[in-house]
Amino acid sequence: MGSLDGGSYQHVIDADSDAQFASGYLLYHVQSQLLAQKFDPATGQLSGDPTTVADFVEYDSSTWHTTFAASQNGLLIYEPGSKSMGSDLVWLDRSGKVTSKLGERAFYKGSGRISPDGKKLAAGVGDPQADIWVFDLVRGSQTRLTFGGATHLGPSWSPDGQRVAYARLTGATMATGSSLRSRLANGGGQEEVLVGQDTPGQPVTLLWPQWSADGHYLAYMGQSGPSATIWAMPTSGDKKPFAVVQPPSAQARIFQFRLSPDGRWLAYTSTESGREETYVTHFPSGSGKWQVSQSGGLYPLWRGDGKELYFMGFGSAATAVVFAVSVNANGETFESGQVRPLFPLSYTAPLGYPYDVTADGQRFIQATSPESVSTPLVLVTNWTAELKK
């Protein structure tokens, strides 16, 4: 692929914001950490292990920007983020009114996933690494399912609500050492590896596992570099994964997906039109394609009866808004009605869905961040000295 000056460029590393090169190092942001790693601009190759320069650096996920700058003479300046900020999980009604709060403020990786019976919530919690916790919405208790050593993201429930599936990511970035695993929701038993990197033909990064309603398939996202594909793996037989939805062009990107309650349809987002829109296709065949959103659509969700679809778009002032649309997906052809705005959503581009919905479509849970507080900039002189020790 060509660059602006007619040359070529290559994928170096996955990061969640802009990177900078200074003093022989590439500085980049992952989760809440500013990392530095030896980089040779002549070959475009990284070497050695990444080293943490700062644990908490201010990061604007809406613009993929980290507040830092480095010079070639050993100066580094950055704005520290607050360790105490985190986010809150709050319940909203269909008008967006906050009705209650769930638990304490913490580093939630998105809103989590409501169980099929509506009595529990599975969520990734922690920073920079996260573990999967199950919150009992009736009793108010909590159960921890994973125990450090990696970042655990994207929990989802088995159809009977007995197990929770999630992605386990190791290494400095989400591009190394990923696998899909599951465990009993009550914390008992052993962790089961569902899909690992030793599975033939699998991409580097595996994310967002979801079981189909009949339990016959595990759907998930597989990513190699910037390109992602939605895969499905039979849960019995040869368990050979196959692609369900692939980007239709080299420029297109697929970001999120969600299986319908009956397991016959798959809603996903793609940038094939030039911006991210929500589409629906048959599952598991991936045949047929219907565009649901018209002015941008992210993070699709289904109502429990499959007759309403939700997605996040943006209003006239670039404000995030949750939209709803009635759908008819009983036959082989998918039909959708008029798109209706429900309420504005505080959107912070979390590592996970920023919201989830109850089966009846009457309550939403949202991960919302408190207002940021300005902090003094930190100036570090000779910042590479610590890296060389």
Residue bearing tokens 């369900």: 244
R_g (Cα) of the chain, nearest Å:
21
Q: How far is CA 330 from CA 138, 217, 282, in A?
A: 33, 20, 12
State the pLDDT at residue 351.
74
Residue 3 confidence class, pLDDT cut points 50, 70, 90: very low
* Cα separation, 254 vs 276, whole angstroms: 8
Most confident of 27-31, 53-57, 332-336: 332-336
- Please determine, for residue 60, whether its predicted confidence score (pLDDT) is greater than 80: no
Which alpha helices (H) appear in the chain, and where do they start and end? Answer: none
Q: In this predicted structure, which of 56-60, 165-169, 178-182, 285-289 has the lowest mean pLDDT? A: 56-60
**Higher local confidence (pLDDT), 150 or 118:** 118
Neighbours of 21 (CB within 10 A): 13
- Please determine, for residue 44, whether its predicted confidence score (pLDDT) is greater than 90: no
State the pLDDT at residue 7.
53
State the pLDDT at residue 1.
42
Token pair for residue 182? 């599951």
Token pair for residue 123? 């969520």
Domains defined along the chain, listed by start: 20-82+374-388 (no CATH), 87-368 (2.120.10.30)
State the pLDDT at residue 14.
64
State the pLDDT at residue 106.
83
Coil vs helix vs strand at 388: helix
86-104 per-position pLDDT tens digit? 788 999 999 999 999 988 8
Mean per-residue pLDDT over the chain, rounded? 85
**Higher local confidence (pLDDT), 163 or 227:** 163
**Higher local confidence (pLDDT), 382 or 162:** 162
173-211 per-position pLDDT tens digit? 454 568 899 999 999 988 999 988 655 555 567 889 999
Task: For the chain, give the number of residues.
Answer: 389
Partners of 207 in the β-ladder = 221
332-359 per-position pLDDT tens digit? 888 899 999 999 987 765 678 899 999 9
**Higher local confidence (pLDDT), 131 or 3:** 131
State the pLDDT at residue 34.
84
